[in-house]
Structure 1
Amino acid sequence: MANPAKAKGTAWESTWTAYIREHHNPEAHRNVQMGSKDIGDVSGYYLHAAELKAEKSITLSDYIAQANREAVHAGQPFGCAVVKRRMKGVADGYVVRDVATDVRLMNRFRDAEELLREYKFDVWFEHDEHHREAA
């Protein structure tokens, strides 16, 4: 690849996609770029359009605006920027949303957990225990 910046971005997308396949969704995949109707760099990050960035200068406001636009194009409720942390591995990168998006996401989680706890307490309890251990 002649453009080193593009090669760096492509490598980050590939590495992050492999990580997501292993730890989250084996069906995750990189998307074909679609210009003004882009749907994010990677599909398969649950409920999100993921815009991946591996740049020396980080401009979160631009990344979030792009991710939110792409979430609309992708038909996903949430957009996020996945930003590579310099000199670190994938697990040390950052997933970034604006506060409004994060509050909507947390409300959805809260409501889903309340429903599960109310209707299937034993299943909720096991779910809660499992995820507390993972932290």
Structure 2
Amino acid sequence: MANPSKAKGTAWESDVVAYLREKHNPAARRNVQMGSKDIGDIDGYYLHALEAKAEKEITLSSYIAQANREAIHAGAPFGCAVVKRRMKGTRDAYVVRDLATDVRLINRLKIMEEALQDADFGRWFDIDEELREAA
């Protein structure tokens, strides 16, 4: 690949996909770029359009604006950017979104947890215990 910056970005996207496949969703994959109707760099991060960024100079505002715009194009309720930390591995990357998006995500999580508690408290308790142990 002639463009070193593009090669670095492609490698980062591939690293993020590999991590997501192992820890989250085996079907995660890189998206084909679609120009003005881009749907994010990576598909398979539940409910999110994901922008992967590995740049020397971090510009969160542009990453979040791009992720939010691409979430709309993808029909995803949330957009986020996964930003590479210098000299760190994939698991140490930053996941960033604006506060409005995060509040919508946390509200959804809260409502769904309350619904599961009401429907099947034992199942909710078991899942809660398992996820606390994994943290």
Q: TM-score, normalised by structure 1?
A: 0.99
Question: 1:85 maps to which residue?
Answer: 85
Alignment of 1:1-135 (within 5 A): 1-135=1-135
Structure-2 separation of matches of 1:29 and 1:119: 34
Structure-2 separation of matches of 1:131 and 1:104: 21
Structure-2 separation of matches of 1:21 and 1:70: 21
Q: TM-score, normalised by structure 2?
A: 0.99
Aligned residues: 135
Structure-2 separation of matches of 1:55 and 1:133: 34
Give the % identical residues.
73
One-letter identity of the residue aligned with 1:86 = R
Structure-2 separation of matches of 1:96 and 1:130: 25
3-state SS of the aligned residue for 2:79?
A: strand
Q: CA deviation at 1:134?
A: 1.2
In structure 1, runs of 5+ residues without a counterpart are: none
One-letter identity of the residue aligned with 1:59 = T
One-letter identity of the residue aligned with 2:67 = A
Q: Over the residues paired in the alignment, what is the CA RMSD in angstroms?
A: 0.4
In structure 2, runs of 5+ residues without a counterpart are: none
Residues 69-105 of structure 1, C-alpha deviations (whole Å, 9 max, x = no match)? 0000000000000000011100000100000000000
Structure-2 separation of matches of 1:132 and 1:22: 19
Structure-2 separation of matches of 1:134 and 1:61: 32
